[in-house]
Amino acid sequence: MFLWALTAAAIPLMLHMFQRRKTVVTPFPTLRFLKAAQKRSSSRVRFENFLLWLLRTLLLLMLGFAFALPVLRMTTGSSWLIRTRRDVAIVIDASYSMTYELDRGKVWDICKDAAVSVIEGLLSGDRVCVYVAGDVPVPVIEKPTTEHATVIQAIRTLSCLSGTSKLDETVALALKALEQQEGRREREVYILTDGQALPWQGFRDAAKKEEQAGDNKALIPREQRDKVSFFTLLAGAQQPDNACPSNLKVSPPLLLAGQSARLNVRVGRTGTAKQVTVAVEVDGQERARRAVTTEANAESSLEFAVAGLEPGIHVAKVTTPQDALPIDDEFLFLLRVRKQLPVLIAGPQEATRYLKAALAPGAADDSVRQIDVAELDSIDLRDYQAVFLCDVFPLTGQAVMRIEEYAKTGGVVIVFPGDRADLSAYAEMKILPAQPKGTEDIPVEQAARPLRRLPNQKDQIVNFNLPLPPGSIPTVALKRIMSFGDLQENGAVLVTAGDGVPFMTGRAVGRGRVFMFAISANREWSTFPLTAFFLPVVHQLIRQGAGASVQPPHLAMSSNNILVNEAVPNYREDDAIAMPSGAPLPVKDNGNRTFVIEELPEPGIYTRAKAGAAQPEPVLAVNTDRLESRLTPATTEELSEWTGFKKFLTARDPEELTRLIGEYRNGRSLAEVFLWIALLLALAEWWFANRALRTQTGATEKMTVDLSGKVVTT
Amino acid sequence: MSEEGIGAYLNPAQMAKLNRLALNSRYVVEGTLAGRHRSAQKGASTEFADHRSYMPGDDLKRIDWKVLGRTDKYYIRRYQDETNLRVYLLVDRSGSMNYSSGTHKTKFNYACTLAAALGYVVLKARDAVGMYIYGEKMDAALPCKNSFNELNNALKVLQGYKPAKGTAGADVMHQIAESINRRAMVIILSDLLDDQPEIIKAIAHFRKNLHDVIVFHTLDPVELNLDLKRGAEFEDLETGERMIADPRTMAKEYKDLMGTFIEDYRKACSEMKVDYRLVKTDEPVDTFVRAYLEERKRLSR
């Protein structure tokens, strides 16, 4: 209707034609100059008048067009004539960076509102499904449905997850759900995210592979991509600011009472360089606080020492000041402090005498227990940090099996041979670093042997040092020595006695360690038990071996299988592990006495209730994977390149998204464009019409006339 | 205008401002009384002019005895004669002078006021002032007198005239040039809106007769810049011709033409050693006269 307004374009011409001439008579002395000036300026004035008329006509034309609200259609085909039915999939990124707090609220809430807004913008009969992108895709409304109210209700109850997300897998699943629908409908996918690059990594990798291979075997095939319109809301901060503790190492790994724990804390920073205060809390009490100047978009590290820890399990955390992303501002970990290391010595009295005397010099020391060989069949080895086997062979099959399982689950087994068994008895135990080959009596003249530590070439064997002052050479006198055959897998000679003769061997077995000496634990074979370094060597083996098998102080959230023994110390089948939310953590029996945690879905402190114990004890400290904390927004161009979507529209806020949807479905209104053009034309007209008044200089400005009337032409 | 004579044009404050000023001629003039202006005559005076050889019949007391003592030759000392200044004010009352663009005076009124101020300055210096009033013809010729009463009478006569319809500036100026028989100062108060070559010729006529000529080219500011905001039907003040025009569209060309017009007069006057001054009617007369006379005094040093 407003196209009638276009007739207004004739107004300037009409005004010009029907304009009444001025009848005011003004006497003027220099009419001859006026006439001459009019003659000179007539052609220029005609041209200027034509331009003015053109500008004014165009201005009114633009205003007429603007009021007519013209629309430029962007869709093609049948949508020109009939209303299009749609199948819509909404994918909401649920990585924990979505909890970033903006001025207008959390990004997660903004995206949920945007999802609701998209659904409310659909017409009845349009179908919609909703997927949440986490570490694995979570279908909220799996199959597209026309029940919009139900979908909105489901969206409103959604909570953000605490992990990362994989948008490619979720989008692929959503597209699959759309593909399975019958009927030819327009398909639209809405990806509501904060715009961080990490969730798009799958698309990026797929694009690289596709480029390298040149084939079309991507997760989302090209023909499928091209059929669908993708709308993306990048609602996150474009210049995010975040600081968080990103990782932590505790040393030594095995903490004993009275030892200080050294914490190496890594602090990640997104944004400009800034000073960040890092605090350490143990059992709810702040133990240390220090400021670190973090560089822009980089990681910094700082050290803390926590002393005076009592034996037991301490819940600790490292915190940074609260910021826009509070979920990663604390990093939980456990400090497991032991009073002592319980050691089991198995073997006859005469073989274990020196060892027991060395490890438990006081009669009241109950950390060392000596048992007879026969008891190995029944004793629970898991209560001990290390097991010494001194001249125990031959062993029953039951005992061998128990010892092997003990070692594999993180125990330390130290084997001293003896005279009781022949060599074939050792063959029953498969976990030894090397199978004995024979024994050799050493002549007196060759008895004195220097011990030398060989460089540790295999990482799985703990570092081992002969604790002697620098420059001194430890020497033992040998009477008899066992020789070994080929080393087993992961086996290594750690110490030699004399010219390359193996004295001590070691092997990593599962999470545990097995050490085997070439001499007996008593003085029958050598003077080793009598030397000054016997006790330190034995202590070292126990402590370092135990440290290697100690459970990590913290774990990251995971959806992969984790062996229970690798995470939880001394796990028993009847232990009940509870998640921070209170829900039980499912532990799966994989058979063969192997237990597996299938996933760690929540961050926080996991507790274990032991059968018969009054109080549950903390067993796991689980943190969010800090990959998402390094906030790196992706640009629209990058996303377009990585995804390869043909119809890919991005918006920075929900309002822009709504506008894009409107423009896409209904066409783009050109009214604003016309109004802008009209404004520009109006400015041009104003400038042009008043140009003469501004730019012309007077005759007396071209010549200087001073007070005395003197004229000077400039 | 209830006052008559000089009081109709200048108030006491303005006259006080003009009291100490003097209008000096740049050239020798021929007066009737002894005065402070250089005369064409050599005679008894205190200002030495030159020597000339003694001739029989010369007065012996005029022989320069010191020169005789040094050179043994007879020389007569000659002295510069000093006389009074006779100033003729030529007031144009042509039709175009009856223009005022705003609240200030018409060009004719401004010229009359300027004539009064200059006459006052001349008489204060004990010089003589005369006046010619012309429009389409010579309207009045008032002789040179060094009396305030005469000036007052002349201004009363001037007060009785209104601007005429047409103009005949060039012819009248030739006529005036012929009528002034001794070298004097001639001050033209006009907008010079006539046939420009003819006007220049008339000014040249004054110079030919060795008069010291000053041209006060009196114009309204709007005439100079055509600073009019609205279109109108313009009527020529002399011919009555009319034209419709929008001054904004032709201001540039008009100003170019007016600039050329003024520049032609300025150049011509400069070549003839005529003192050309552009006077805008929005400037106070006393301020202008004071500035002009001080400038003239500074240049004559």
pLDDT digit string, tens, across residues A489-536: 888 888 888 888 999 998 888 878 899 999 999 888 999 998 888 888
Supply the range of the domain harboring residue B261: 5-28+85-300
Do B78 and B139 share a domain, yes or no? no
Check residues A10 and B87 and name the one with the higher pLDDT.
B87
Q: What is the mean pLDDT of residues A120-129?
A: 89
Do B118 and B16 share a domain, yes or no? yes
Angle at A106 between CA A105 and CA A109, to 5 degrees: 95
Contact flag A709-B193 (C-beta cutoff 8 Å): no
Q: How far is B176 from chain A (nearest CA, A)?
A: 25
Q: Which helix H or strand E contains A232, and what residues bound it?
A: strand A229-234
Crossing angle of the two packed helices B196-208 and B169-179, in degrees rounded to 10: 10
Is A619:A587 a contact under the CB 8 Å cutoff?
Answer: no
Of A40, A708, A694, A704, the closest CA to residue B224 belongs to A704
Of A411, A371, A370, A418, the closest CA to residue A390 belongs to A418
Q: What is the pLDDT of residue A266?
A: 93
Domain boundary (B48, B83, B118) is at B83
Q: Name the residue among B242, B262, B296 with its Cβ closest to that of A703.
A: B262
Strand partners, A562: A597
B residues 110-149 closer than 8 Å to A (CB) = none
Structure confidence at residue A219 as a pLDDT band (50, 70, 90): low
Report how far residue A325's alpha carbon sits from residue A712's, in angstroms, rounded to the nearest whole number. Answer: 75
Check pLDDT > 80 for residue A223. Answer: no
Q: Does A697 touch chain B (CB under 8 A)?
A: yes
Report how far residue A317's alpha carbon sits from residue A321's, in angstroms, rounded to the nearest whole number. Answer: 13
> Average per-residue pLDDT in chain A?
84
Do B228 and B157 share a domain, yes or no? yes
Q: Does A17 touch chain B (CB under 8 A)?
A: no
Do B225 and B91 share a domain, yes or no? yes
Q: What is the pLDDT of residue A518?
A: 93
pTM for this prediction: 0.54
**pLDDT over 70, % of chain A:** 88
Contact flag B254-A24 (C-beta cutoff 8 Å): no
Which chain B residues are closer than 8 Å to A30 by Cβ?
96, 193, 223, 258
Residue pLDDT, tens place only, A573-586: 888 899 999 899 98
Q: What is the pLDDT of residue A75?
A: 52
Check pLDDT > 90 for residue B3. Answer: no
Do B239 and B269 share a domain, yes or no? yes
Which residue on chain B is closest to A33 by alpha carbon?
B254
Q: Does B241 touch chain A (CB under 8 A)?
A: yes
Do B63 and B188 share a domain, yes or no? no
Output the 3-class SS for A251-315: ECCCEECCCCEEEEEEEEEECCCEEEEEEEEECCEEEEEEEEEECCCCEEEEEEEECCCCCEEEE
Dihedral over Cα of A566, A570, A575, A579: its sign: negative
Contact flag A711-B291 (C-beta cutoff 8 Å): no
Is B129:B146 a contact under the CB 8 Å cutoff?
Answer: yes
Report how far residue B99's alpha carbon sits from residue A223's, in angstroms, rounded to the nearest whole number. Answer: 87
Which chain B residues are closer than 8 Å to A702 by Cβ?
255, 259
Q: What is the pLDDT of residue B42?
A: 54
Which chain A residues are closer than 8 Å to B279 by Cβ?
709
Q: Does B227 touch chain A (CB under 8 A)?
A: yes
Q: Does A19 touch chain B (CB under 8 A)?
A: no
The CA-to-CA distance between both ends of chain B, in Å, stands at 40
Q: What is the pLDDT of residue A81?
A: 44
> Average per-residue pLDDT in chain B?
83
Q: How far is B54 from chain A (nearest CA, A)?
A: 47
Copy the structure tokens of residue A247: 């990782």
Q: Does A693 touch chain B (CB under 8 A)?
A: yes
Is A74:B294 a contact under the CB 8 Å cutoff?
Answer: no
Output the 3-class SS for B80-144: EEEECCEEEEEEECCHHHCCCCCCCCCHHHHHHHHHHHHHHHHHHCCCEEEEEEECCCEEEEEEE
A residues 497-536 closer than 8 Å to B (CB) = none
Which chain A residues are closer than 8 Å to B245 by Cβ?
34, 38
Q: Does B263 touch chain A (CB under 8 A)?
A: yes
Do B181 and B132 share a domain, yes or no? yes
Is B266:B241 a contact under the CB 8 Å cutoff?
Answer: no
Q: How far is A55 from chain B (nearest CA, A)?
A: 18
Of B145, B126, B104, the closest CA to residue B34 belongs to B126
Check pLDDT > 50 for residue A620. Answer: yes
Contact flag B291-A707 (C-beta cutoff 8 Å): yes
Do B61 and B158 share a domain, yes or no? no
Q: Does A21 touch chain B (CB under 8 A)?
A: yes
Report how far residue A234's alpha carbon sits from residue A237's, in angstroms, rounded to the nearest whole number. Answer: 9
Check pLDDT > 70 for residue B27. Answer: no
CATH of the domain at B129: 3.40.50.410
Check pLDDT > 60 for residue A557. Answer: yes
Structure confidence at residue B246 as a pLDDT band (50, 70, 90): confident
Structure confidence at residue A459 as a pLDDT band (50, 70, 90): very low
Q: Does A72 touch chain B (CB under 8 A)?
A: no
Structure confidence at residue B253 as a pLDDT band (50, 70, 90): confident
Check pLDDT > 60 for residue A173. Answer: yes
Structure confidence at residue A673 as a pLDDT band (50, 70, 90): confident
B residues 172-201 closer than 8 Å to A (CB) = 191, 193
Crossing angle of the two packed helices B148-159 and B107-124, in degrees rounded to 10: 170
Which chain A residues are closer than 8 Å to B239 by Cβ?
31
Residue pLDDT, tens place only, A176-214: 888 887 777 788 999 999 999 999 988 888 888 777 766
Check pLDDT > 50 for residue A460. Answer: no
Residue with tokens 């749609």: A86
Check pLDDT > 80 for residue B132. Answer: yes
Q: Does B255 touch chain A (CB under 8 A)?
A: yes
Angle at A62 between CA A57 and CA A65, to 5 degrees: 125
Is A242:A271 a contact under the CB 8 Å cutoff?
Answer: yes
Check pLDDT > 70 for residue A430. Answer: yes
Structure confidence at residue A79 as a pLDDT band (50, 70, 90): very low
Do B98 and B15 share a domain, yes or no? yes
In one-letter notation, the amino acid at residue B5 is G
Structure confidence at residue A316 as a pLDDT band (50, 70, 90): very high
Which chain A residues are closer than 8 Å to B288 by Cβ?
707-709
Q: SS3 of A77, please?
A: helix
Q: Does B99 touch chain A (CB under 8 A)?
A: yes
Output the 3-class SS for B49-95: EEEEECCCCCCHHHECHHHHHHHCCCEEEEEEEEECCEEEEEEECCH
Q: How far is B181 from chain A (nearest CA, A)?
A: 29
Is A253:A260 a contact under the CB 8 Å cutoff?
Answer: no
Domain boundary (B45, B65, B83) is at B83
Structure confidence at residue B80 as a pLDDT band (50, 70, 90): low
| Cis, bond preceding A252 (omega within 30 deg of 0) | yes
Crossing angle of the two packed helices A11-18 and A31-67, in degrees rounded to 10: 150
Residue with tokens 């010291």: B212
Of A421, A412, A415, the closest CA to residue A352 belongs to A415
Residue A562 DSSP one-character state: E
In one-letter notation, the amino acid at residue A193 is T
Report how far residue A230's alpha carbon sits from residue A640's, in angstroms, rounded to the nearest whole number. Answer: 10
For residue A406, the number of C-alpha atoms closer than 13 Å in the C-beta half-sphere is 28
Strand partners, A711: A705
Report how far residue A82's alpha carbon sits from residue A64's, in angstroms, rounded to the nearest whole number. Answer: 28
Q: What is the pLDDT of residue A139?
A: 93
Which chain A residues are closer than 8 Å to B227 by Cβ?
698
Copy the structure tokens of residue B294: 């001080």
Contact flag A31-B261 (C-beta cutoff 8 Å): no
Of A109, A95, A2, A15, the closest CA to residue A53 belongs to A15
Residue A650 phi/psi, 5-degree rounding, is: -120, 145
Do B121 and B77 share a domain, yes or no? no
Copy the structure tokens of residue A371: 């048992």
ipTM > 0.90, yes or no: no
Winning range, highest mean pLDDT, from A158-167, A587-596, B248-257: A158-167
Check pLDDT > 80 for residue B24. Answer: no
Q: What is the pLDDT of residue A526?
A: 93
Report how far residue B30's alpha carbon sits from residue B82's, in angstroms, rounded to the nearest whole number. Answer: 9
Do B264 and B230 share a domain, yes or no? yes
Residue pLDDT, tens place only, A236-273: 998 899 999 999 998 887 788 888 899 999 999 999 99
Interface test with B, best of A701, A708, A712 (most B CBs within 10 A): A708
Q: What is the mean pLDDT of residues A425-436?
A: 89
Which chain B residues are closer than 8 Å to A52 by Cβ?
none
Least confident of A369-373, B116-120, B243-247: B243-247
Which chain A residues are closer than 8 Å to B251 by Cβ?
37, 692, 696
Angle at A574 between CA A573 and CA A577, to 5 degrees: 95
Residue with tokens 């700082």: A302
For residue A702, the number of C-alpha atoms closer than 13 Å in the C-beta half-sphere is 15
How many structural domains does chain B have? 2
Report how far residue A1's alpha carbon sits from residue B114's, in angstroms, rounded to the nearest whole number. Answer: 70
Which residue on chain A is closest to B231 by alpha carbon?
A22
Residue A658 DSSP one-character state: H
Check pLDDT > 80 for residue B30. Answer: no
Which residue on chain A is closest to B287 by alpha carbon?
A707
In one-letter notation, the amino acid at residue A444 is V
Copy the structure tokens of residue A622: 């689980």
Q: Name the residue among A33, A48, A711 with its Cβ closest to that of B258.
A: A33
Q: What is the mean pLDDT of residues A683-691?
A: 82
Q: How far is B192 from chain A (nearest CA, A)?
A: 11
Q: Does B235 touch chain A (CB under 8 A)?
A: yes
Structure confidence at residue A542 as a pLDDT band (50, 70, 90): confident
Report how far residue A388's alpha carbon sits from residue A538's, in angstroms, rounded to the nearest whole number. Answer: 10
Residue A23 phi/psi, 5-degree rounding, is: -105, 0
Is B203:B215 a contact under the CB 8 Å cutoff?
Answer: yes
Neighbours of B237 (CB within 10 A): 23
Q: Does A698 touch chain B (CB under 8 A)?
A: yes
| Cis, bond preceding A144 (omega within 30 deg of 0) | no
Q: How far is A8 from chain B (nearest CA, A)?
A: 26
Is A234:A194 a contact under the CB 8 Å cutoff?
Answer: yes
Do B183 and B158 share a domain, yes or no? yes
* DSSP of A313-337: EEEEEEE----S-GGGSEEEEEEEE
Q: Name the residue among A22, A36, A706 with its Cβ closest to that of B244.
A: A22
Q: Does A43 touch chain B (CB under 8 A)?
A: no
- A vs B: CB pairs below 8 A: 153
Interface test with A, best of B222, B234, B298 (most A CBs within 10 A): B234
Contact flag B255-A31 (C-beta cutoff 8 Å): no
Least confident of A551-555, B87-91, B157-161, B297-301: B297-301
Residue pLDDT, tens place only, A356-379: 888 877 655 677 888 988 888 888
Check residues A199 and B233 and name the one with the higher pLDDT.
A199
Contact flag A707-B266 (C-beta cutoff 8 Å): no
